[in-house]
């Protein structure tokens, strides 16, 4: 799959493609079902970072890292900067609840969405785009693993904000 081609992402079941700033106003379009999601940086060819981002201090931990560390994680030829999952065979999380946590974390709220926190140090974080793929019959973790494996094969490393996986 070509992670830099919106049409191909749509062909592979991804939908939404809504900016952070739009989702902060209204996240009702995010399905209340389990699935996987991508975060896209439409400015990926010109990514700039800020020293102090807008991520919350979950359990008192500072979510910010140095700009050299952010630069060292950046995959410069990829618009996809994070691959995540929502839900499990036994869990209650949905795309709506999980992405809601992620978005609140980016509003400096102390929310338990520590993974992917690097996105909140991107200067144009409000332009970032969320898209998702509902997986009602499949385990989102397995789909996430497949997406990460394919991404690593294509780009030689994990997406920018995927610190594990």
Domain residue extents for the chain = 18-155
What is the pLDDT at residue 8? 97
Query: Average pLDDT for consecutive 10-residue bins of the chain (165 residues)?
Result: 97 98 97 97 97 92 95 97 92 93 92 86 98 96 97 97 88
What is the pLDDT at residue 104? 94
Task: Determine if the pTM surpasses 0.85.
Answer: yes
Q: Which of 25, 31, 52 is nearest to 126 (CA)?
A: 25
């Amino acid at each position: 799959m070509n992670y830099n081609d919106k049409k191909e992402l749509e062909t592979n079941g991804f939908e939404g493609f809504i900016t952070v700033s739009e989702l902060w106003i209204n996240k009702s379009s995010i399905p209340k079902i389990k699935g996987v999601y991508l975060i896209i940086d439409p400015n990926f060819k010109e990514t700039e970072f800020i020293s102090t981002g807008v991520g919350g201090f979950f359990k008192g931990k500072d979510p910010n890292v140095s700009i050299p560390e952010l630069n060292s994680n950046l995959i410069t030829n990829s618009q996809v900067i994070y691959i995540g999952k929502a839900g499990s065979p036994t869990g209650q999380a949905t795309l709506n609840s999980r992405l809601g946590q992620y978005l609140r974390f980016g509003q400096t709220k102390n929310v338990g969405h520590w993974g992917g926190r690097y996105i909140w140090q991107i200067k144009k974080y409000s332009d970032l785009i969320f898209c998702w793929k509902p997986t009602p019959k499949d385990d989102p973790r397995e789909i996430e693993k497949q997406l990460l494996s394919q991404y690593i094969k294509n780009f030689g490393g994990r997406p920018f904000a995927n610190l594990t996986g």
